[in-house]
Structure 1
Amino acid sequence: MADDTSISVGRTIDSSAKDLFLVLSNPERHAQLDGSGFVRSDDHTDRITANGQTFRMNMSGPHMGGDYQTDNHVTGFVPDKLIAWQTAPAGTEPPGWEWMWELEPQGPDSTAVTLTYDWGKVTDKDLLAKGLFPLVSKEQLEDSLAKLAEAVSGS
């Protein structure tokens, strides 16, 4: 699904929701999952265990002039079902874009996974005027789902 302010992609992965959630809730694994190529590594982060946590990532991309860090504020957390966060340049409040992973078991070893990139809460007119959104394409999100499937099969 895609609309003016979000892109969602989905696929069924041959793994339990629990095993997928273990990968998704570990920021150390996020560079391995990133289809955009922006995520380089985590910055000494802990496993995500609750709403309201913040984890920092090391990033790189031309849209930010090279290397930078982000603080990711956890906005949704339901074990084995949902994990979401809003991203912000390190040390700032989130401007409004969000990443959400939803897991729906299809059996003991099969899970429907939906990944959504939503920038609908961005209200900064200057930021919107830069024409950055969407910064990540549908194909890159689909690549993230493929990488998740590979990561969980090898974990």
Structure 2
Amino acid sequence: MAEENVSATLIVAEPAARVFAMLADPTIHSAIDGTGWVREAVDRAPLTEVGQFFRMDMYHANHPEGGYQVANKVAVLDPPCAIGWLTGQEKDDGHLEFGGWIWRYDLAPLGPSETEVTLTYDWSAVPQYIREYLQFPPFGPEHLVNSLHHLAGLVAPTSRARTPGG
């Protein structure tokens, strides 16, 4: 794959501030996740600043331990326009190591009650030694679409999400 990122976009029938608030709440991430890997927020405080850390319990059948924990570091926080985090894990010595991939949501208001939401997974900064044992992306692009539909259902359960131009 020549590109080192994948993204999906969906229009949600809610204001950007409301959508952003959902994304800034780690306790909701498992319900948004389109891969089915995110289980529960360990750190439950809302995301409020760049550099903030939050951990999530995860599960993946192909992971050596099955259940595991990731440490995320907020890398982008521009309410209500953008939020993103780097994902890594805590090493045996207690230090955090980030793999070079980032999850990012960009929100573009389309008037007072609609928001275009773009979710991007970018692995362009992943070092070669990680690429030797992990294939990128580790999931298909449909998982990003699933995540956006989950988000739309949570933020505006009675409205209908649509893809741009649709």
Specify the TM-score bucket, using the shorter chain as the normaliser: over 0.9
After superposition, residues 1-155 of structure 1 pair within 5 angstroms as 3-65=2-64, 66-91=66-91, 92-123=96-127, 125-154=128-157
Q: Which runs of 4+ in 1 moved over 3 A?
A: none
- The amino acid that maps onto 1:51 is V
Q: State how far apart, in whole Å, the 2-side matches of 1:136 and 1:15 are.
A: 28
The count of corresponding residues between Structure 1 and Structure 2 is: 153
Unaligned runs of 5+ in 1: none
Structure 1 counterpart of 2:137, one-letter code: P
**Are the counterparts in 1 of residues 12 and 156 from structure 2 also a CA contact under 8 Å?**
no
How far off is 1:129 after superposition?
A: 1.4
Shift of 1:3: 5.0
Deviation digits for residues 66-112 of structure 1 (CA, Å, limit 9, x no counterpart): 00000000000001110000000234221200000000000111000
Over aligned residue pairs, what C-alpha RMSD do you find?
Answer: 1.6
Larger helix proportion of the pair? 1
CA apart distance, 1:137: 1.7
Percent of aligned positions that are identical? 35
Cα offset, 1:130, TM superposition: 1.9
Q: Distance in 1 between matches of 2:51 and 2:105?
A: 16
Q: Is the 8 A contact 1:56 1:90 kept in 2?
A: no
Q: 5+ unaligned residues in a row in structure 2: which ranges?
A: 159-166
Greater Cα radius of gyration, structure 1 or 2: 2
SS for the counterpart of 2:69 is strand
TM-score by length of 1: 0.93
Q: TM-score, normalized by length of structure 2?
A: 0.87
Task: Tell me which amino acid in the other structure corresponds to 2:69.
Answer: Q
**Whole-angstrom CA distance in 1 between matches of 2:68 and 2:46:** 21
Q: Structure 1 131/43 Cα, relative in aligned 2: closer, same or farther at 3 Å?
A: closer
The CA deviation at 1:153 is 1.6
